[in-house]
Amino acid sequence: MKEKQGRIFYLDFIRVLAIFLVIFIHVSAIDTTLHIGSTQWQITRILNYLAHVSVPMFFMISGALLLSNPRTESISYTWKKRIPRVVIPFVAWSLLSTFFIALYAHSFDLGGALKMYAQFLYQPVSPTLWFMYPLIGLYVLSPVLRTFAKKASTKMLVYITSIWLITNSLMPTLSPFLPKSIMHALEFNPASSFYLVGGFAGYFILGYLITRLDVSKISYWALILIFLICLFAGDAYSTAYPKTNDMWNQYYVTSIFVLIMSLSFYLILQKLGQRTQSVGVKKTFAFFSPLVFGIYLVHNILILFLEPWFMANLPYQGLLATFTRYFAVAILASLIIWLLSLIPGINYILTGTRGGIGKNEYHYNNRDSSTDHISDDPLHSAE
């Protein structure tokens, strides 16, 4: 009898923590504009900056899983199985977001809604849904990337990620230090096409590269030290050299600090996950893991309605108010998606999963290789 394939716990561990960091980014965003200069503002700003490691980690998980899986080579499987599980819930929640935004504004402009959907391929109906565009793009390209990754040597993967790191992150990070008259000297002309090996695809390949390397010998404390140095240096850099264009690109790609933070934090969580033996902890993360995609899609709607109410009614301010709003959104989002996951048909349309959460058996392997994981992407944990 064939042994049932299990999941690797550290990937669920990273996935679940990452989604709750995403929620913190969006909940605390308004607090980074209030009481500027105060101690609570400085703490909130640093915590908000720290939470930006979440999106790169999602892309790294995605690369580790998709590029390790032989099924990724199948164009048919990609379009029939994987892409619908992401696109259908994304479109459904985009429609719902438009409705709830109109409800919040106490108006519904059919013409405006149609215009919004006419530009659906160009821009998200809600800013927080921007993540889906590069993710879907990588899903579409995944058979090509898998074919390359399977045949590429580790040396070749290091080469391609090095090009990405230098041209898309290190050089743009250094450019503000140059005199204004030549500050664009380190930026490549778009015709050079370094973006073909850049953007979020770099994190995608980096995640897969990690599965090829022996990272067990890297010092846990060295990773923590690197993470903390980049956290405070990156926060100071982003404050001194704010960029007004392409906000998410600033944080996630062109900042060398976020790149190194994300990599070191990913490895820290990997080590913590591999050391975790508690059955209770593993069951908790196994429960939340299938909810991650739905939580991401619904949390922006909850923030839209809950944030003004909390801002007007909480008898206190500061960090306590920030975390009150944060836990309210995180708990309510988890509860809503869990309930939706129990409804046949609706669960697939709105969460991308089949079968109620909790009905599935969860088995974790003791092996460390992410190629043993049954998940296909960073937002789902089961077929």
d(CA 74, CA 94): 28
Q: Provide the pLDDT confidence category of residue 51 given band limits of 50, 70 and 90.
A: very high
d(CA 383, CA 381): 7
| Listed range (138-142, 157-161, 209-213, 251-255) with the worst mean pLDDT | 251-255
The answer as to whether 39 is a domain residue is: yes
Residue 188 or residue 367, greater confidence:
188
The answer as to whether 32 is a domain residue is: yes
**Domain coverage including residue 163:** 9-372
Residue 175 or residue 66, greater confidence:
66
The residue length of the chain stands at 383
Write down the pLDDT at residue 5.
Answer: 45
Please name the residue ranges forming H helices in the chain. Answer: 9-28, 39-51, 54-66, 75-77, 83-104, 110-118, 132-151, 154-164, 171-174, 201-212, 220-240, 247-252, 256-275, 279-288, 292-313, 318-341, 346-351
- β-partners of residue 364 are 7
The answer to whether residues 178 and 127 touch, using CB atoms and an 8 Å cutoff, is: no
The answer to whether residues 162 and 225 touch, using CB atoms and an 8 Å cutoff, is: no
| Sign of torsion over alpha carbons 29, 336, 59, 124 | negative
Chain mean pLDDT for the chain: 85
Give pLDDT tens digits for 88-141. Answer: 999 999 988 888 877 776 666 666 667 767 777 778 888 889 899 999 999 999
Residue with tokens 């990272």: 215
DSSP characters over 173-227: HHGGGS-GGGTTTTSPPGGG-GGGG-TTHHHHHHHHHHHHS--TTS-HHHHHHHH
Q: Is the pLDDT of residue 186 over 50?
A: yes
Apex 59 CA angle, 191 and 361, nearest 5: 155
The answer as to whether 81 is a domain residue is: yes
- β-partners of residue 7 are 364
Q: Is the pLDDT of residue 192 over 70?
A: no
d(CA 27, CA 57): 19
The answer to whether residues 323 and 313 touch, using CB atoms and an 8 Å cutoff, is: no
Q: Name the token pair of 77.
A: 């499987």
What SS3 state is found at 114? helix
What SS3 state is found at 273? helix
d(CA 211, CA 62): 12
The answer as to whether 87 is a domain residue is: yes
The answer as to whether 4 is a domain residue is: no
What pTM was computed for the model? 0.89
The answer as to whether 139 is a domain residue is: yes
Half-sphere exposure of 182 (CA within 13 A, CB side): 4
Give pLDDT tens digits for 262-312. Answer: 999 999 999 999 999 999 999 999 999 999 999 999 999 999 999 999 989
The answer as to whether 383 is a domain residue is: no
Which residues contact residue 305 at a Cβ distance below 8 angstroms, ignoring those fewer than 6 apart?
100, 104
Write down the pLDDT at residue 368.
Answer: 46
What SS3 state is found at 361? coil
Which residues contact residue 270 at a Cβ distance below 8 angstroms, ignoring those fewer than 6 apart?
10, 14, 210, 215
Tally of structural domains, the chain: 1
The answer as to whether 381 is a domain residue is: no
